[in-house]
Amino acid sequence: MTIETKTVANVTSKAEGRFTADISRFNVIDAHGDVMRPNAFRPWLERSRALNQRIPVVFSHQANDPMMHVGECNPHNCQETANGLRVSGHLYLDEERGQKVFRQLQRGALREWSFGFLIKKSRPLPSGGRELLEVDLVELGPTLKGAGVTETVEVRSQTVQPHAAPAGSPVTVEQRLAPYRAQLRLAQLRTARWRDARP
């Protein structure tokens, strides 16, 4: 199973290392000819919330480079709206690259978002693209140029402890490792499926 990517556009700014972004728009044909349908993310959201799995924020899909994992999202702070998928998370302001990406979002030099996903259910469109009915989100992040329509709803500046951890609850090693463990689980799943598909 191949991880696919979609990219979407636009950005604004404001306060704390946190962001909110609309990363996918429903019922709109993107640059690849695909259409994301309402409820496509719902099964994944339910599973991720049950397991409390963090979603890595990766700059421009560079998931193989741990240094480009610049933040994370909690699935409880992601939701399908009438228009698409809205996510909220935070950037790692105590790490150089996380801080740089944050500054670029503030400046408006980064205005678009993209996400990597696995297709669970789809069907072909007469136009040659695909109607995406169910997908699993793997990663998301700011990018220079996207495939669809996205918007950074809010970016808050650094005013509290980096990582935006609640007062009195420091970020644990487990929390920092969670995005990398998710990537490892995904790689193991893909390897197992590849083995099962061999004759």
How much of the chain, in percent, has pLDDT values that exceed 70? 67
Instruction: Quote the pLDDT of residue 174.
Output: 60
Q: What predicted TM-score, i.e. pTM, was given to this entire model? A: 0.70
Q: What is the pLDDT of residue 127?
A: 86
The more confidently predicted of residues 2 and 89 is 89
Total of domains in the chain: 1
The Cα angle at residue 182 between residues 178 and 185, in degrees rounded to 5: 135
Domain of 130 in residue numbering reads as 4-162+171-197
On average, the pLDDT of the chain sits at 80
More confident residue, 149 or 77: 77
Q: Outline where DSSP puts E strands in the chain.
A: 4-8, 18-25, 35-36, 55-58, 69-80, 84-91, 112-124, 130-143, 151-155
In this predicted structure, the answer to whether residue 98 has a pLDDT above a threshold of 50 is yes
Measured between its terminal Cα atoms, the distance across the chain in Å is: 16
CA distance 98 to 57: 10
Residue 146: what pLDDT? Answer: 66
For 71-96, what is the mean pLDDT?
94
Q: Is the pLDDT of residue 60 over 50?
A: yes
Give yes or no for residue 89 having a pLDDT over 50.
yes
What's the pLDDT tens digit per position in 134-154?
999 999 999 987 666 676 776
The tens digit of pLDDT for each residue in 155-181 reads 765 443 333 334 444 555 565 566 566
Question: Which of 31-35, 97-101, 188-192 shows the lowest per-residue confidence on average (mean pLDDT)?
Answer: 188-192
Q: Which pLDDT belongs to residue 150?
A: 73
